[in-house]
Chain A
Amino acid sequence: MKPTDTADPDYFHKVVDCQWACPAHTPVPEYIRLIAEKRYSDAYMINWHSNVFPGILGRTCDRPCEPACRRGRVEEEPVAICRLKRVAADYKSDIRDRLPQAPKKKNGKHIALIGAGPASLTVARDLLPLGYEITLFEKDALSGGAMRTQIPRFRLPAEVLNEELNYILDMGVNCRFGEEITSMRDILAEDYDAVFVGTGAPLGKWLDLPGHEEAIDNIHTGIEWLASVAFEHISSVGKNVLVLGGGNTAMDCCRTSKRIGGESVSVVVRSGFDQMKASPWEIEDAMNEDIPILNFHVPKRYITENGKLVAMEFEKVRKEVDANGRRQLIPTGEAPAILPCDDVLCAIGQENSFPWIERDLGIEFDQWEVPVLNKSTFQSTHEKVFFGGDSALGPDNIITAVAHGHDAAVSIHMLCEEKDITQRPDPLTNLSSQKMGIHQWSYSNDISADFRFAVPHADKQVTLNDINVEVELGFDEQLAFNETMRCLNCDVQTVFTDKLCIECDACVDICPTDCITFTQNQDEPELRTTLLAPAENEEQDLYVSDLLLTGRIMAKNEDLCLHCGLCAERCPTNAWDMHKYLFNTAKAENACQS
């Protein structure tokens, strides 16, 4: 193998599994350490710069970081990264004086953002301090998009939502709320320097089965129904509620129903329990509220009496794997299940929808009616039109929308500065030794052996009776500290300097996971098998040095490293040292600086 090029900004970034997995690449271990030091405001600002909505995401994020967490390779449960983010938001002081200000003197460029969800607001946040004038269109009367309409208040209180939305709106945005855009042609005619579309995936899917027409008054799509509840257009639901679908929207629908009059609320899914798309913790929360989840029930028809929905019929199935390894649902032959219901909520998917974009404007759509985009610039086939969030690549999550927003803001800024927007700015990185003394590091490598701490919940009797009472109480400071101590500090990198190595084997002997090997150089596949602990996870890199005095190389298996720093503590020559690697994606403010 060739020696590892650690100057590649992605190399050490990839070792920080949580940050690598995060769409916005938030420096997770860095803010966790700050929380441990009770520097909540500092931790909050790191988050705010990276993911814009720490308080919101600390409650609602899909947490792609947690399945990636290295702690999950040591024991079952990862560090509670998401809920620690909430701690930073909960315990911070007033941070308004730390927020960037929009300059009084504008730069003369005017950008339209369509849809006031996380993607558009991120674009606004990134461009306002640079002097852009921003006009934000929203069909609803309030901003927030899916964060307001799709996430119930018992998961995300209004004051948390409004606080973080206002940080952006207070910078000075022209808000055109309650104004539904019906024509892109009209928008383009207003001659903006760029238009960003962040309209989400607003179209809920219906389940068109026999009886649909007759029962239509009591069938709702999950996202529209949730939005109606959020805006208090709907304040009650029938006693018997069936929620169809196994995603997070279904979980929000059933829990919301339970709070506004649903007495018997069930979730019904076609395939197995383990195939449900909802996050495990959201399923758990629904089950904690005594909501049964019926699996292997395929919906067949709506049953009405006197023109009103009274029940649904389901076929019972079982799972079989066919010769090609494909899952198939085979009817069990049992009698169909008839489940009585007053209302049915269809949470079986959503789509983006652009009936308002005329197809002769130069904005191309593919065969699935999804805009054709450059996936790194988010530019459409129209030079001045950008897409982000769910409207760009289909339904995903808030943190992905934020990441799109940052990238699109970079593109828009470069476009306005007449730069080539495909030449993306480099990330901001810093690598610095953490050595303070022979056995002293500037970070704590005395890692806690505790299992993951659970977030305390409010009393169910209270939360089930008031839709606005938040279920999760969040960690208190002590629990939060205990949880931070589980973080392995993966951003503190083991950096190897081959010129200093005397090949004494001290690091090999001390390493608790045998992740370091000194051996003859070979091609990667052979090398992976000959290490002291074979490197079977090929997604994780090998860190390989140049030739040493003996003609051998040092090969370190990044998969197994616990970042304990013992190699560097035992190394007599500082050939191993622990360096903290900070990585931040370039934002619009960092583009166009050269």
Chain B
Amino acid sequence: MQTNDIGLTRRDYEGTLTTLCGGCGHDSISAAIIQAAAEMSLEPHRVAKISGIGCSSKIPSYFLSKAHGFNSVHGRMPSVATGANIANKELYYVGVSGDGDSASIGLGQFCHIVRRRINMLYIVANNGTYGLTKGQLSATADLGSRTKSGEESQFDNIDMATLAIELGASFVARSFSGDKKQLIPLLQAGLSHKGFAFIDVISPCVTFNNTDFSTHGYKNTWENYVALSEIDFVPMREEITTSYGAGKEKEITLHDGSAIHLHKTSNDYDPSDKENALHHINEYKKQGKIATGLLYINQSSSDLHELQETVDRPLNSLGDQELCPGSKALNDINNTFR
């Protein structure tokens, strides 16, 4: 098997054997994360996996078993991720949640972690159903979509991607578990992005929401998903030698020096324009289509640590003297307020 730059094979990035249903989109997400992390030569011990409750939140068990992990409370993954990120800014944070965990019970938490610009990759494995409780409609189920038992959704869906854009996320993408060619570079770009990176991954529930009347099933997604642009991820160690035809490609350099190349499709999509992004997503939605790919990116945003001017080092590396500098230091601070 091929080894990557740090001598690991893809096997070293795997987790335990999945207990999800065969054909669950979530397994493909695990596989995509494994592939993405192996190709990027991420050191497993520098990754922290955090999740809430639900089928989606089991995903972290199935990748990077040598990484740090925290399976938290239902809908509370954002709080735990925020705390962990504040304590140690040097890790890669991968939050994995689902539509129930993030769009229902945890919607408030989700809004605030976006707003607070935590530097992490937040993945929602979105299947439009509560799979773990046997297939009720979730808050992301589209109006008119029907469950396996025939129940029709009477409400408009919560679109996690547009919500994230509006709340200030600096990297927002949508993809499909079945399309690893698109998903893997998006995951890599999201990991390399500094700031809050959000990927809404349509990940069909093969057991409870894969009928022809479901908008989150394999068939509907394969038929209706539209890539706004094709994406390549270029790791920083690779010198960029390919020359791209003018106007056809757009190169976006990420914070760690890596880059993404967007190959524009006919629609001439510009992901740096927030209004344009929202417009496109809604236009496609009206036609029953699903806009995917890198929807929005803002390279100049700051993350929480920069805004708060936090200490440069992880808290666990600070000594007693630094954490508790004594009464003189306190007096000095107090004096600044006089």
Contacts and interface: CB of A to CB of B under 8 A. Distances in A.
Interface of A: 502-506, 508-510, 549-550, 569-573
Contacts of B18: 510
A506 B25 CA distance: 8
A503 B206 contact: no
Contacts of B177: 504-505
5 contacts: A502-B23, A503-B222, A509-B31, A549-B223, A572-B22
Given A505-B31, A505-B180, A572 B222 contact: no
A503 B28 CA distance: 11
Contact of A509 (B21, B30, B222, B223): B30
A573 B204 CA distance: 14
B28 A506 contact: yes
Give the residue among A506, A510, A573 with the most B Cβ atoms within 10 A.
Answer: A506
A520 to B, nearest CB: 11
A572 B23 contact: yes
B30 A504 contact: no
A549 B178 CA distance: 12
Contacts of A502: 23, 206, 210, 218-219
Nearest to B206: A572
Contacts of A504: 23-25, 28, 177-178, 204, 206, 218
Nearest to A575: B23
Give the residue among A505, A570, A571, A572 with the most B Cβ atoms within 10 A.
Answer: A505
Interface in B203-261: 204, 206-207, 210, 218-219, 222-223
B101 interface: no
Nearest to B21: A572
Nearest to B11: A512
Contacts of A503: 178, 218, 222
B27 interface: yes
Contacts of A569: 22
A505 B219 contact: no
Given A503-B178, A504-B178, A504-B206, A550 B222 contact: yes
B23 A571 contact: yes
Interface in B174-210: 177-178, 180, 204, 206-207, 210
A505 B22 contact: no
Nearest to B180: A505
B173 to A, nearest CB: 19
Contacts of A572: 21-24, 206-207, 210
Interface in B11-45: 18, 21-25, 27-28, 30-31
A506 B22 contact: yes
A549 B224 CA distance: 12
A570 B206 CA distance: 11
A505 B28 contact: yes
B24 A505 contact: no
A549 B24 CA distance: 18
Contact of B27 (A509, A549, A573): A509
B310 to A, nearest CB: 39
A549 B25 CA distance: 17
Nearest to A519: B181
Contact of A506 (B27, B207, B210, B219): B27
A549 B219 contact: yes
A-B pairs, top 5 by smallest CB distance, nearest first, are: A572-B23, A570-B22, A509-B31, A502-B218, A504-B23
A558 to B, nearest CB: 19
